């Protein structure tokens, strides 16, 4: 519903300047890429590492900005932009520059927007609350509580605006707002397609499950899905579940393309770009002649980023920012392991991954890493 409303707003705004509907819904994605790059660059500066601005922006450009997902009018990229601004606000308020209410409020609104677009972005808010509570700095606790109310209000305002803006009647709104019970995502999240690699999926979306349970009454549907999830987990045994969830973690976190062509038929459609941009088409479409080479480069880069981030995190000196971001990534991983997931779901928190890499590897001007101190 929120996506539908946002696209309607974009199309209406684009019509004012005679922008085609496709361009109107894709232009915000280009702007979101700019927001991600700017936020990461500014965060690197505030952390005291101006020389890291271009490298971290280059990583974000390759992994996020040049991803085929940019051409898909969906919520992943806008959520990544919202997360990047929220993370920047954390750096601004938690660093040497000191607390700033304008930045704190900006971060709260951005985090609320991210949660509204991708509910699992709430892991960043939960991580922040846990770290602040652990610090026992009660003024900060009160401030974060107030900011949490702002974030919640942002979600509520967006819900209300989208409900009114879409023009759907009350019955249809009820169906759109709560189309599936939690058991639906749990049953999908524990399912194994058991296909031959590389098309095998661990805990991914299942259209056949949607169709099989759509006509059931809510209570029967929930009970049936709970039983299905239990059968899937119980039938594998301990060793089987360790293998399944380990493979699922690797599948979700190990795809540098973020499953850009894992769903839908866009990869097989004719390109709408002019002939002068045929090289871009060949490299960005799943059926393109250069896509395998491009995907291989991006895959290698992403795996290197994930492995290096993990290694540096093990050696880094803990601080509130790093702990918050690391907890958020841990929370995301737990969510994706339990419920229905796809590699695409990681995209929204890629800015946090890059900030953890920066913080764990270089520390900050006011808080260097243990490795640097030893040198």
**E-strand stretches of the chain:** none
Selection from 178, 217, 209, 177 nearest residue 193 by Cα: 209
What is the reported pLDDT for 237?
Answer: 92
Selection from 368, 363, 348 nearest residue 87 by Cα: 348
Q: pLDDT 10s per residue in the chain (375 long)?
A: 677 777 787 888 888 888 888 788 888 999 999 999 999 999 999 999 999 999 999 999 999 998 888 888 889 999 999 999 999 999 999 877 788 999 999 999 999 999 999 999 999 999 999 999 998 888 889 999 999 999 999 999 988 887 777 776 666 666 666 667 889 899 999 999 888 767 788 998 888 888 888 778 888 889 999 999 999 999 999 999 999 999 999 999 999 989 887 765 555 556 555 555 555 666 666 666 777 788 889 999 999 999 999 999 999 898 999 999 999 999 999 999 999 999 999 999 999 999 999 999 876 555 554 434 333
Strand, helix or coil at 196? coil
Burial (Cβ within 10 Å: 0-12, 13-18, ≥19) of residue 170: exposed
What is the reported pLDDT for 363?
Answer: 66
Exposure class string for 22-57: b at 16+ Cβ within 10 A, else e: eebbbebbeebbebbbebbbbbbebbbbeebbeebb
Distance CA(173)–CA(1), nearest Å, equals: 8
Distance CA(291)–CA(334), nearest Å, equals: 31
What is the reported pLDDT for 287?
Answer: 63
Selection from 194, 180, 188, 187 nearest residue 229 by Cα: 187
Distance CA(62)–CA(40), nearest Å, equals: 14
Q: pTM of the predicted model, to two decimals?
A: 0.89
Exposure class string for 63-80: b at 16+ Cβ within 10 A, else e: bbbbbbbbbbbbbbbbbb
Distance CA(201)–CA(184), nearest Å, equals: 17
Give the start-to-end residue ranges of the domains of the chain.
2-179+254-262+278-374
Contact 151, 112 (CB under 8 A): yes
What does 2-68 look like in DSSP terms, one character per residue? HHHHHHHHHHHHHHHTT--HHHHHHHHHHHHHHHHHHHHHHHHHHTT-GGGHHHHHHHHIIIIITSG
What is the reported pLDDT for 242?
Answer: 96
Distance CA(190)–CA(248), nearest Å, equals: 9
What is the reported pLDDT for 269?
Answer: 58
- The residue whose two tokens read 């380990």 is 246
**Joined tokens for residue 373:** 């101190």
What is the reported pLDDT for 180?
Answer: 79
What is the reported pLDDT for 14?
Answer: 82
Q: Is the CA virtual torsion 200, 201, 206, 209 positive or negative?
A: positive
Contact 360, 43 (CB under 8 A): no
């Amino acid at each position: 519903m929120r996506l539908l409303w946002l696209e309607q707003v974009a199309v209406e705004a684009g019509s004012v300047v005679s922008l085609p509907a496709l361009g109107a819904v894709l232009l915000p994605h280009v702007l979101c890429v700019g927001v991600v790059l700017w936020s990461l660059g500014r965060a690197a500066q505030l952390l005291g590492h101006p020389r890291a601005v271009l490298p971290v922006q280059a990583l974000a450009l390759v992994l996020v900005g040049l991803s085929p997902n940019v051409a898909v009018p969906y919520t992943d990229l806008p959520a990544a932009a919202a997360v990047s601004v929220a993370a920047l606000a954390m750096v601004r308020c938690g660093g040497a520059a000191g607390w700033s209410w304008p930045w704190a409020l900006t971060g709260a609104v951005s985090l609320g927007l991210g949660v509204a677009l991708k509910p699992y972005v709430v892991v960043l808010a939960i991580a922040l609350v846990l770290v602040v509570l652990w610090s026992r700095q009660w003024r900060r606790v009160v401030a974060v509580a107030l900011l949490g109310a702002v974030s919640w209000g942002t979600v509520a305002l967006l819900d209300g605006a989208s409900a009114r803006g879409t023009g759907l009647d009350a019955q249809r709104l009820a169906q759109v707002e709560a189309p599936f019970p939690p058991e639906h995502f749990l049953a999908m999240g524990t399912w194994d397609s058991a296909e031959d690699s590389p098309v095998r999926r661990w805990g991914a979306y299942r259209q056949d499950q949607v169709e099989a349970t759509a006509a059931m009454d809510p209570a029967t549907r929930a009970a049936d899905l709970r039983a299905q999830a239990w059968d899937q987990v119980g039938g594998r045994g301990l060793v089987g579940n360790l293998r399944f969830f380990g493979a699922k973690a690797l599948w979700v976190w190990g795809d540098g393309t973020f499953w850009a062509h894992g769903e839908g038929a866009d990869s097989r459609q004719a390109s709408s770009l002019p002939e002068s941009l045929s090289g871009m088409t060949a490299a960005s479409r799943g059926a393109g002649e250069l896509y395998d080479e491009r995907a291989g480069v991006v895959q290698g880069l992403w795996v290197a980023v994930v492995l290096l981030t993990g290694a540096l995190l093990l050696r880094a000196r803990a601080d509130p920012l790093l702990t918050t971001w690391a907890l958020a990534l841990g929370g995301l991983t737990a969510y994706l392991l339990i419920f229905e997931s796809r590699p695409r779901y990681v995209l929204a928190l890629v800015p946090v991954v890059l900030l953890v890499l920066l913080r764990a590897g270089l520390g900050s001007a006011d808080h260097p890493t243990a490795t640097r101190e030893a040198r």
